[in-house]
Amino acid sequence: MWTSIVEWRRRHIRDKQFMLLLALAIGVLTALAGMLLKWLILQIEHLLTHQFSLATANWLYLLYPVVGILITGLFVRYVVRDDIGHGITKILYAIARKKSFIKAHNTWSSIIASSITIGFGGSVGAEAPIVLTGSAIGSNLGRAFGLDGRKLLLLVGCGAAGAISGVFKAPIAGLVFTLEVLMIDFTLGSLLPLLVACVTASAVTFALSGTDNVFEFHLTDGFSIGRVHVYIILGVVCGLISLYFTRVMNWLEDCFRRLGSPWRRFLVAAPILSVLIFLFPSLYGEGYDTIHLLLNGRSDVEWAQVMGSSLFYSSPHLLLLYLAGVIVFKVFATTATNSGGGCGGTFAPSLFLGCVAGFLFASLWNMIPGQGTVVPESNFALLGMAGLMSGVMHAPLTGIFLIAELTGGYGLFLPLMIVATVAYLTIIIFEPHSIYTMRLARKGELVTHNKDQAILTLMSMDSVIERYEEHLHPTDDLAEVVRQLSSSTRDVFPVVDEGYHLLGVLVLDRVRHVMFRTELYHRLHVAELMSPCAARLTTHDSMDVVMTAFERTKAWTLPVVDEEGVFVGFIRRSHVFALYRTMVHDLSEE
């Protein structure tokens, strides 16, 4: 039945039109998935905390996060049975090494796991899980209709773009995020499906949840040329905080990883998370309530509500110290959540941390005697969000457009550009890769905006391997070699043992001078004529590894083996170049 549908589609609907239809479907599905995730988080959080008092500390903060990451860990380990953490990193890995293949369970597993984690207080964000969900929807829809690798890659991008557009009601940011963060070198012909997915996801979310911005923000004091130097300093500060967040998170993840057992990680991470949330309740969940308070508060009394349900609530004069503690310990809470068994991303933590950092910076700046330039705290809280997102994600354009669309803060567009750009320029001095890409960069598995890399990623090993049925063994004599040569058009043969494990190669040039000397037919053997392999490739190597091997060895033909060393076939440099030229031509025609 399904095969008939796929065949009917191929006969009656052209590929370009079909990609637009799929982009439309992906936009609808990702918007609904994002709204479902947000609704689940809100319901769980309301159920657990609606009776909490703002004036006193709540001891249940010590319990809820532990229960949340425990339930999530058990769900992932015994129901999903797969690692679903680091959602955006997983998308990048799927693009680089798995031909844009994302497992089907990712269309729903991240929604359940992250809603439990965040609803119970895990200090992470829902955006990375929903981006993984959207990309998984695109990947699995494309595979269901038998689309090729290039179209599958585009649908993965449509899913990511639709997810961001829907969850934030920000279509421009969704498009920019896909191009900037996922680092895919899409062509002009690819932009239309991306735009369809972004607009559709945003429209569905607007239709079902209203047209209000995600964060309410009222601009009271617009751009001032006299504050440009303050914007620049804020950008530097945001870049340095981004560096702190990135470096400490990676260090902590390495520490937790060395603990080995998931139960050991849970027993260490859970107490850290619960104590931090008890001391700083603002770390509970995504922290969007704190962002609302800092963006819309107009007095110390209103801003002090940030310390609600904490030990510090009765001491409003400690607000700035409290916020400084939040900046220092947010990375510990986020890492403990994920390493302890929870599921969530760093998207919301970046927004939260940026808002707190911008507000704290403005408050401290206004306390400097004689500096002459008073800055509005709410504006700088908004600018800090763009600065931290730009620094942590290495995505200044995403930071600029997302914050502008999230809050309607277009009146601060130029300051947003200054802060985001300076933050990005600051962090790249110390850290060339974003928090999403550095794990892959260490392993050489990162795809970049480089056109060569993008095309090599779209090429598969299967498409360039030349399968061989002819084999030689070390004990074969020259007569057997001549027999195979006479019936073949090949100029290189694999030499294998009885289990077909590759031992070396025999090249025609090595036997050309003796192949007509019949007196040597039974005296010379393959073991004496074979050559060692200049390099061995495996079936799991990327095309980038293949090209590097050709460049290093200067060889024109290299053998490919499987994980056990069994010979699979040869890859010829000329074949790779021919396929490369074809794909460049195809991309140029889009």
Q: Do the Cβ atoms of 540 and 562 come closer than 8 Å?
A: no
Task: Indicate the pTM of the whole model.
Answer: 0.79
Structural domain that includes position 15 = 2-212
At which of 382, 407, 442 does a domain end? Answer: 442
The amino acid that residue 318 corresponds to is L
CATH of the domain at 322: 1.10.3080.10
Q: Do 238 and 291 reside in the same domain of the chain? A: yes
Instruction: Provide the domain count of the chain.
Output: 3
Q: Once rounded to an integer, what is the mean pLDDT over residues 469-489?
A: 82
Residues 189-241 have pLDDT tens digits of 678 999 999 999 999 999 999 888 888 888 878 788 889 999 999 999 999 99
| Residue 453 in domain | no
| Residue 279 in domain | yes
Q: Do 394 and 283 reside in the same domain of the chain? A: yes
Residues 249-308 have pLDDT tens digits of 999 999 999 998 899 999 999 999 999 999 999 999 999 999 999 999 888 888 989 998
At which of 415, 442, 469 does a domain end? Answer: 442
Q: Once rounded to an integer, what is the mean pLDDT over residues 502-526?
A: 81
Question: Would you call 446 helix, strand, or coil by DSSP?
Answer: coil
pLDDT number for residue 448: 47
| Residue 557 in domain | yes
Q: Do 582 and 526 reside in the same domain of the chain? A: yes
Buried b (16+ CB within 10 A) or exposed e, 135-148: bbbbbbbbbebebe
The residue that leads in pLDDT, 224 or 322, is 322
Would the pLDDT of 589 be above 60? no
| Residue 424 in domain | yes
CATH of the domain at 495: 3.10.580.10
Contacts of residue 290, Cβ cutoff 8 Å, sequence gap at least 6: 282, 306, 352, 355, 356
At which of 173, 189, 212 does a domain end? Answer: 212
Q: Do 78 and 133 reside in the same domain of the chain? A: yes
Residues 437-448 have pLDDT tens digits of 776 666 555 554
Q: Where are the alpha helices (DSSP H) in 340-470?
A: 347-366, 377-393, 396-407, 413-430, 438-442, 451-458, 461-464
Q: Once rounded to an integer, what is the mean pLDDT over residues 177-199?
A: 81
| Selection from 183, 224, 175 nearest residue 418 by Cα | 224
pLDDT number for residue 449: 47
Q: Do 231 and 185 reside in the same domain of the chain? A: no
Across 175-189, 238-252, 399-413, 505-519, the highest mean pLDDT is recorded for 238-252
Q: How far is CA 146 from CA 143, 216, 274, 427, in A?
A: 5, 44, 47, 42
| Residue 231 in domain | yes
| Residue 217 in domain | no
Question: Within a 10 A sphere around the Cβ of 10, how many other Cβ atoms?
Answer: 13
Q: Do 517 and 570 reside in the same domain of the chain? A: yes
Helix, strand, coil share (%) of the chain residues, nearest 5: 65, 5, 25
pLDDT number for residue 185: 57
Q: Do the Cβ atoms of 538 and 571 come closer than 8 Å?
A: no
| Residue 380 in domain | yes
| Residue 219 in domain | no
Q: Do 400 and 509 reside in the same domain of the chain? A: no
Q: Do 69 and 145 reside in the same domain of the chain? A: yes
pLDDT number for residue 379: 92
Q: Do 424 and 500 reside in the same domain of the chain? A: no
Q: Do the Cβ atoms of 398 and 180 come closer than 8 Å?
A: yes
Q: Do 232 and 163 reside in the same domain of the chain? A: no
Q: Do 73 and 200 reside in the same domain of the chain? A: yes
Would the pLDDT of 15 be above 90? no
Q: Do 42 and 189 reside in the same domain of the chain? A: yes
